[in-house]
Homo-oligomer: A and B are copies of this chain.
């Protein structure tokens, strides 16, 4: 999907795509494929790839060490994304559309029928600290 969209990865990136199934074992329905470009102690950038109708379950990024929690902007590159943000409702994003999710705010999202590619621009990612509403979820399974 990334190659079709003209997004070039290095070999190391292609061999290290993160496959997140949230410990549920139902990847095609509930999951996310992630390429992390950079994640420093200040800035993070990723490409998120979603299969058709694949869903990322509701979660929030809590405050850490006196900082307000991860702030993330989702910019849709291909496909459509249905984004749900607590206090803001349902937001439909197509190619070129973007939305900034404030820190510590519950959100979930799923791709439309054609799947989606989303660029994520954010503060530091500390995925293991994400708080999911569904307590069965393990963000970073061992």
- Give the distance in Å from the alpha carbon of A73 to the alpha carbon of B40 in the complex: 10
| Residues from chain B with Cβ under 8 Å of A37 in the complex | 73, 75, 98, 121
Given contacts A43-B122, A45-B121, A121-B121, contact A100 B8 (CB under 8 A): no
B5 near A6 with CB under 8 A, answer yes
Interface residue? A123 (CB, 8 A): yes
Given contacts A45-B121, A96-B13, contact A71 B8 (CB under 8 A): no
User: Binary interface profile of A, 17-50, with partner B (CB < 8 Å = 1, else 0)?
Assistant: 0000000000000000000011010111100000
Given contacts A8-B95, A9-B96, A13-B96, contact A45 B42 (CB under 8 A): no
Q: In the complex, which of the residues B13, B73, B77 contacts A43, with contact meaning CB atoms closer than 8 Å?
A: B73
Quick one: copies of this chain in the complex?
A: 2
A77 CB, nearest partner CB in chain B, Å: 7
**New A-B pairs, 16, CB < 8 Å, besides A9-B96, A37-B75, A38-B100:** A5-B6, A6-B6, A8-B77, A10-B97, A13-B96, A37-B73, A40-B100, A42-B123, A43-B71, A43-B73, A43-B121, A43-B122, A43-B123, A45-B75, A45-B119, A121-B121
